[in-house]
Chains A and B, each alone.
Chain A
Amino acid sequence: MSEKKAPFFVGYMGVPKALKSFLLKVSLLLFAGFTAGAVLAGASQDDPGQAGFRFDYGRQTLTGVLEANPYPLLYVTQGNDRVKAGHTMMLSGQGKTPIMANLAALEGNEVEISGVILKRGELDMLQVAGGKKGIKDLSKEGTIPASEPLGKWKLQGEICDGKCLAGAMNPGRGLAHKACANLCLLADIPPVFVSSQPVEGKEFLLVADPDGGPFPREMYNYVGQFLELETEIERRGDLLVLRIDPDKIKAIE
């Protein structure tokens, strides 16, 4: 439409007749665009998979031997219907609250721990209840199972924080979740490597540094990325532990 012929709109006056139908069409188009956009963006979100807090299990109380290095682990000696004896249960505090300080002194002791389980397939973790209800020292020295070396492996996959991955957050992995994962790792939450191929039948492996200690801070840059790495793997109870070597890791774009 030529500029001179275009109807002239002044906000505080009435809308020119020639513009009414045009503006109505634009309004309807805008409304339809937002409606279609909502359906398209909302309904196309990726499936985070089945995972989450198992409040339906109720509070779980487990007895076992505590190991605090590299991360809090409970080698279950007396289980229940949900968690069998012989299972290695990863532990975390409430939310993103560190619990290492409470547990370090109990390393190697038999303890009774209660809390809520988080679960994604074979991956599980116990969020330890706060206060004295959560950890009870049985004042008895236990036996930490000897680790079994499984040799060197070349793997591809992603490092996540075990708690969000187990269902504390859905989705709980990926680059968009990286800051949250790092914050969890800073709170002593066990990091987990999600392997694209099963290792000895397991898809999830606890991550430790080359000396078997906690996940090194300088490796936080790799969290959430798809990685290829060569690593030593060992078995602790029924949990596989991966010793990550900063020199043998690369990000795959």
Chain B
Amino acid sequence: MSVKYISVQWNSNKWKYNAIMLASVFTYLWIFIFVTPDIMSNEGRINGQVHNARAFGSCAFLMLSVILCIGPLARLDKRFLPLLYNRRHFGVMTMFVGITHAGYILNWYFAFSPSNKYEALLFSNTSYGQLSGFPFEVFGILALFCLTILAATSHDFWLKFLTPRIWKRIHYLIYAAYISVVAHVSLGILQDQQNHAFTVLFIVSALVVAVLHLLAAIHERKHGDPFPNNSDNWVEVCDVSELREGFAKITQLTQKERVAVFMHEGKLSAISNACAHQNGPLGEGKIIRCLVTCPWHGFQYDVTNGSSPAPFTEKVPTYNLKLEGSSVLVDRNANAPGTFVEPLVLQTTGAAT
């Protein structure tokens, strides 16, 4: 539930998550490496190293595609949120699969030479001025570089150390990695393919990622949180009748700031919508055992003061609320994280006490 520079907590759901992902990856590699050579009716045999490199490379691409689908799927349908829960482990797995691909390539194509293989990787093809024959390896290097940064900073220690905002920005490198991989494959193996089955798989995977992101953006635009159209300190959130016990209404206060107004035991409280862990949307969570629970990783906060229960130390800002008729208004000036605010009690008539 919290982080205090301790190792990532494990629970049975994480084990199951990793088991399913690992089983999928191992099955992919096992079939590609050991089964498909006997299925192919080729006259000649592809070198084992090249075959293995292709197995690991295509697997890494597929894994990356799956990882990038999880975010928009969870935006479009909340039932996919559990896939978001342990996505970082899948990302680290992807890096290792990608490194194995690079290892096979380096120790095959760039080996057996008096030159250093890492230097040879950089100097053997310098046709940067042309598309056909472009040194596509650089895109692979860039993708691996991004994936390594993401994996190295995936632990909650770095989240805490860098702050969620910076951590999140760094982790947008996943898009740079994916675009690099697409360029790497498009300018590399796809240029030589006579059988286009992998080309179809590649294009379909990349299209699914792109279309899901587009759909999620459209969904966000349609169903996104309302933006206040006045500059007053007090911003209207909703009508009291729209609130439901244990859940929240979210309102955007500024371009970067959102507030979540919860109803708990008939009273209203407002806290920042951004979880202190990974900026998860607290307002899309619910109150469990009197605590607001983040839908991403289950971090919890007392709705009245924005503090995690002891011994945890996470805190989010709180906000003051008032009622005008049946309208709920929030003060756009946040209180310091952890500040207690007396919940707004609703009377049966809808007036505040």
Chain A residues near B (Cβ < 8 Å): 1, 3-4, 6-13, 15, 19, 22-23, 26-27, 30-31, 33-35, 37-52, 94-98, 169-171, 174-180, 182-183, 186-187, 220-225, 251, 253
Smallest Cβ-Cβ distance to A224: which chain B residue: B133
Whether B244 lies near A4 (C-beta < 8 A) is yes
Instruction: For A169, give its contact among B39, B50, B135, B284 (CB under 8 Å).
Output: B50
Question: Do residues A175 and B194 form an inter-chain contact, with CB atoms below 8 A?
Answer: no
Known A11-B298, A41-B58: A175·B132 in contact at CB below 8 Å: yes
**A187 to B197 Cα, complex, angstroms:** 36
Q: Please give 7 more A-B residue pairs, beta carbons under 8 A apart, in addition to A179-B124, A221-B130, A222-B133.
A: A23-B79, A34-B28, A35-B28, A40-B197, A45-B51, A179-B137, A225-B132
A-B pair number, CB within 8 angstroms: 220
A-B complex: 4 closest residue pairs judged by Cβ atoms: A95-B112, A42-B36, A44-B197, A174-B192
B347 on the A face (CB < 8 A):
no
User: Chain B interface: which size bin?
Assistant: 35 or more
Q: 0/1 per residue, B13-33, Cβ < 8 Å to A?
A: 110000011011101111111
- Given A43-B39, A45-B54, A171-B46, A38 contacting B125 (CB threshold 8 A): no
Question: Is the beta-carbon distance between A10 and B201 smaller than 8 angstroms?
Answer: no
Find the A residue at minimum CB distance from B135.
Answer: A179
Query: Which of B20, B115, B193, B244 is in CB contact (< 8 Å) with A30?
Result: B20
Contact residues in B for A183 (Cβ distance below 8 Å): 109-110, 113, 115, 120, 124
B247 and A4 contacting across the interface, CB-CB below 8 Å: yes
The answer to whether A253 touches B135 (Cβ under 8 A) is no
Which residues of the partner chain A approach B37 to less than 8 Å between Cβ atoms? 42
Q: Would you call B286 an interface residue if the criterion is a C-beta within 8 Å of the partner chain's C-beta atoms?
A: yes
**A4 / chain B contacts, CB cutoff of 8 Å:** 244, 247
**A-side contacts of B344, CB under 8 Å:** none
Residues from chain B with a CB closer than 8 A to the CB of A9 are 81-82, 85, 295
Contacts of B40 in A (CB 8 A): 42-43, 45, 47
Q: Which of B9, B25, B42, B136 has the most CB of A within 10 A?
A: B42
Is A180 within 8 A of B124, CB to CB? Answer: yes
Tell me if B290 is interfacial: C-beta within 8 Å of chain A.
Answer: no
User: What residues on A are CB-neighbors of B44 within 8 Å?
Assistant: 47-52, 170
Q: How far, in whole Å, are A52 and B43 apart by their CA atoms in the complex?
A: 12
Query: Of B14, B43, B54, which is within 8 A of A49 by CB?
Result: B43
Q: Is the CB of B133 within 8 A of A15?
A: no
Q: Mark B34-59, 1 if CB is under 8 A from A, else 0.
A: 01110110111111001100110011
Partner of B113, one of A3, A96, A170: A96
- Closest-by-CB residue of A relative to B83 is A26
> Closest CB of chain B to A241's CB: distance in Å?
24
Which B161-202 residues have C-beta < 8 A from chain A?
187-189, 191-198, 201
A49 to B43, CA, bound (A): 6
Interchain residue pairs with CB less than 8 A apart (22): A11-B14, A11-B298, A13-B288, A31-B23, A34-B25, A39-B31, A41-B58, A43-B39, A43-B197, A45-B40, A46-B194, A47-B42, A47-B44, A170-B44, A171-B46, A171-B192, A174-B192, A176-B189, A179-B109, A182-B125, A220-B127, A251-B132
